[in-house]
Structure 1
Amino acid sequence: MSSIDSIAIMIYRQVKRYIGARSRIVTTFVQPVIWIFFFGLGMGSLFTFNNPYIDTLMKQQFGGLDYITFLTSGVVAMTIFTASFISGVSVIWDKQFGFLKETLVAPAHRASIIIGRSIGDALTILLQATIITLISKAIAPGLRLTGLLPALVYGFILSLGLISLGIAIATKMTSPEGFQMIVNLVMMPLQFLSGIFFPISRLPDWAQIIAKLNPLTYAVDGMRYWLTGVSTFDPLIDVALLVVLSGILMIIAVRMFEKATIEE
């Protein structure tokens, strides 16, 4: 079996698996919708005073955007980040149901299996992000849908890297509960130190250092640029750093998967 064939088969398998899991589809939309409609509208009201001068000052804190638009552009990136990281749990389920053994003994290069799996999951995650963006447009008119496609390119690169990281972690684990604990432990600080909920320039100096080391920061910044026109860094620097990061994480995942044994 050629590498292209095995990649295509894994993409098809991951997409079909996602479409067949209705509960997963519903769940992946609940969290971002809650953040946007409840947290976004609630916090947005705190920065609205119905006074043109004060409202202008408030918007300056968010790059000239109203808070709901600022938050929504970040939540789109958060949707990709969360779904990508968590997708690694499917490797553990594949272990328990025996599918992983089949892929390990299949006449295909293991790198192509990882790549196909990552691309398949990334495509379904981008579909989620697209729908979330379209829904959010109703309450965040400042979003520029003309920038959705390039924003999704940033999201796709981020997704490939994080899916690979999730696969690398899951390869060495046997418990879905343990995997979820690790994911939640890592995700929470990365989300709050990425510029999703507030500008990183408003963080303490020590937190800004951590934020600049956080890969999610550059995905949020790049996607926000294309969706709103506002950014902290150069969008080209954002995408370059994401490409390097995703490449490194995918190489790590491939190496770990190549060393995996049937007994694991």
Structure 2
Amino acid sequence: MSSFWLPVMTLWQRELVRFWRQKSRVLGVVASPLLFWLVIGLGSGRLEFYFPGSLVLTIMFSAIFSTISIIEDRREGFLLSMLVSPAPRSSMVLGKILGAATLASVQGLIFLAFAPLAGIPLAASKAPALVLVVFLVAFVLTALGFLIAWKMDSTQGFHAVMNLFLVPMWMLSGALFTLAEAHQVIRWIMRANPLTYPVALLRGLLTPGSSGGSPQAFTSLLVTVAFGAALLEQRMKLRFLFRSLMAAALWLVGCGRQEPLPVYSQVPDFSLTSESGAPVGRQMFEGSIWVADFIFTNCSGPCPRMSALMRHVQAAAPEVKLASFTVDPERDTPEVLAQYARRYHAQAGRWVFLTGEEARIHQLAREGFKLGSVDGSLTHSTRFVLVDIRGRIRGYYGTGENDGVTRLVRDIRRLARDE
């Protein structure tokens, strides 16, 4: 036993000592994902959503860059000296991976400390599960980096492979958008992407209820473990374990039940005026599924298309209510909105057009519906927002996408069935 574990612990310690002598690596690995998360999250108002993906990015950077030492060890002759030693080769593989995975885990936990900035509570009851999952993700990504570095002769080639494959894999892992928001083709790619499952696993722990169609926790855990076993399979003789786990994972991915729609946030109360001059607040929509968008009647850009698509939703989903908020209330008086409503054959009582104080409407778009800012040129979001009977946002749908409204109508029916 000592002939196996002594080399493992020696190489593990060597990785830690090497890292301790290069403390600047901590700043480099943590700062880049942290900056990305803050800029993208604050810019879109979705700090909470982007946090799990940014955490995986931190772990990936640390794990992958730590395995560059394999290329350096080969160049310096240290790898050759290990290979000719009596120690089992599997112990060398495990020692290198454990060392780099430990470092990646520590840096991932450092990043995890920023979760409260996104409004994500770090409950003590979840701490053991979070630490174990972070280490599992770090171990799997380190094994991936080891496999790539083992076949590389230069660090330049290693970086090229990372930019060509690993960064796109991370981008299509659910870190930037959910499965529910993706186009059908991209959705299939995301389901086949092994990085989708670590992101889903961490998202389920950190922000339950915002999965957006991501795989279930058990499926994500099993696929992540199976992927790690696949990476170690040839060098550590884990064929039976790998095949068993992979078969189970594929069955779960193919047969697992569909996750509920994500819950993004709660729509705050508001007090505005409809095209008929009647006061309207959120209570008008309580108990009903409804769809909201932001337009203005003098718009010559996307607004006519948006209103035409909203009319299509009105016809395709008779069980929902619709609300169009003007971002130009100074010009869009109730009388002007009434004419606009007649132009698109809006059904009275179902599709309302709302105006009011400009600052309040812009704040509602930005902070209530999380649609970004409206600037002085009336640039605004072109997305539809799906809201459930409890006033919770359940989905965003691009009106410029070919299947955006199709997905919206499908999700309305899913929501009506689930409610």
Per the normalisation by structure 1, the TM-score is 0.82
Alignment of 1:75-86 (within 5 A): 75-86=54-65
- Structure 2 residue matching 1:233: 3-state secondary structure: coil
Shift of 1:205: 0.3
Residue 145 (structure 2) pairs with residue 144 (structure 1): no
In proportion to residue count, which structure has more strand?
Answer: 2
Partners of 1:166 and 1:253 lie apart in 2 by 14
Q: Which runs of 5+ in 2 are unaligned?
A: 238-419
Q: Residue 12 of structure 1 aligns to which amino acid in structure 2?
A: Q
Q: State the Cα deviation string for residues 160-188 of structure 1 (Å, max 9, x = none).
A: 22222222222222110111110111122
DSSP 3-state at the match of 2:102: helix
CA distance in 1, matches of 2:65, 2:235: 15
Query: What is the letter of the counterpart of residue 94 of structure 1?
Result: D
Distance (whole Å) between structure 2 residues aligned to residue 252 and residue 35 of structure 1: 36
How has the CA–CA distance of structure 1 residues 152 and 197 changed in structure 2, closer, same or farther, with 3 Å as cutoff? farther
- Does the Cα contact within 8 Å between 2:73 and 2:79 map onto a contact in 1? yes
Q: Does residue 153 of the first structure (1) align with residue 154 of the second (2)?
A: no
The match for 2:227 among 215, 224, 245 is 245
Aligned residues with identical type, % of pairs: 28
Conserved? CA contact 1:73–1:227, under 8 Å: yes
From 149, 159, 163, the equivalent of 1:184 is: 163
**What do the CA deviations read for 1:41-76 (whole angstroms, capped 9, x no partner)?**
1121xxxxxxxxxxxxxxxxxxxxxx2111112211
Quote the offset at 1:145 in angstroms. Answer: 4.2
How far does residue 90 in structure 1 lie from its aligned partner after superposition? Answer: 1.1
CA distance in 2, matches of 1:145, 1:176: 40
In the alignment, the residues of structure 1 paired with residue 10 and residue 205 of structure 2 have an alpha-carbon distance, to the nearest angstrom, of 33
> For the Cα contact (< 8 Å) 2:115–2:122, is it kept in 1?
no
Query: In the alignment, which residue of structure 1 is the partner of 2:309?
Result: none
Measure the CA separation in 2 of the matches of 1:193 and 1:221. 12
Which amino acid letter does the alignment assign opposite residue 43 of structure 1? S
Q: Name 2:101's counterpart in structure 1.
A: 122
Contact 1:160 1:250 in 2 (8 A): no
Residue of structure 2 equivalent to 1:214:
193
Change (3 A) 1:19 1:253: farther
Alpha-carbon contact 2:15-2:96 (below 8 Å) kept: yes
1:56 aligns with: none
| 1:98 maps to 2:77 | yes
Higher helix share: 1
Quote the Cα distance in structure 2 between the aligned partners of 1:76 and 1:148: 15
Q: Does 1:167 align with 2:168?
A: no
SS of 2:54 mapped into structure 1: helix
User: How many angstroms apart in 2 are the aligned matches of 1:212 and 1:114?
Assistant: 29
In structure 1, give the amino acid aligned to 2:148: I
Extract structure 1 runs of 4+ deviating beyond 4 A: none
| Unpaired stretches in structure 1, ≥5 consecutive residues | 45-66, 256-264
Relative to the length of structure 2, the TM-score reads: 0.53
Cα separation, 2, equivalents of 1:106 and 1:143? 49
Residues 25-36 of structure 1 correspond to what in structure 2 (within 5 A)?
Answer: 25-36=26-37
Q: Which moved more, 1:233-242 or 1:149-158?
A: 149-158
**1:47 match:** none
The alignment partner of 2:61 has SS state of helix
| CA distance, structure 1, for counterparts of residue 137 and residue 194 of structure 2 | 8
Task: Compute the displacement of 1:27 (Å).
Answer: 0.7
What does residue 7 of structure 1 align with? 8
Task: Give the partner amino acid of 1:141.
Answer: G
Match of 1:55 in 2: none
Give the whole-Å Cα distance in 2 for the aligned partners of 1:253 and 1:145.
39
Higher RCO (C-alpha under 8 Å, 6+ residues apart): 1
Following the alignment from structure 1 to structure 2, what is the Cα–Cα distance between the partners of residues 19 and 148?
A: 26
How many residues get paired?
A: 232
Could you tell me which residue of structure 2 aligns to residue 48 of structure 1? Answer: none
Check conservation: 1:167, 1:253, Cα contact below 8 A. no
Whether the aligned pair in 2 keeps the contact of 1:161 and 1:250 (CA below 8 Å) is: no
Does the 8 Å contact 2:62/2:107 carry over to 1?
no
1:112 and 2:113 matched: no
| Shift of residue 32, structure 1, vs aligned partner | 1.3
Q: Match for residue 49 of structure 2?
A: 70
Cα deviation digits, residues 139-175 of structure 1 (max 9, x gap): 2122434434313323322322222222222222211
- The answer to whether the 8 A contact 1:7-1:113 is kept is yes
Partner of 2:218: 236
Preserved CA contact (<8 Å) 2:137 2:198 = yes
Please identify the structure whose Cα radius of gyration is greater.
2
The Cα shift of 1:189 comes to 1.3
Q: Provide the C-alpha distance between the structure 2 equivalents of 1:143 and 1:113, rounded to a whole number of angstroms.
A: 39
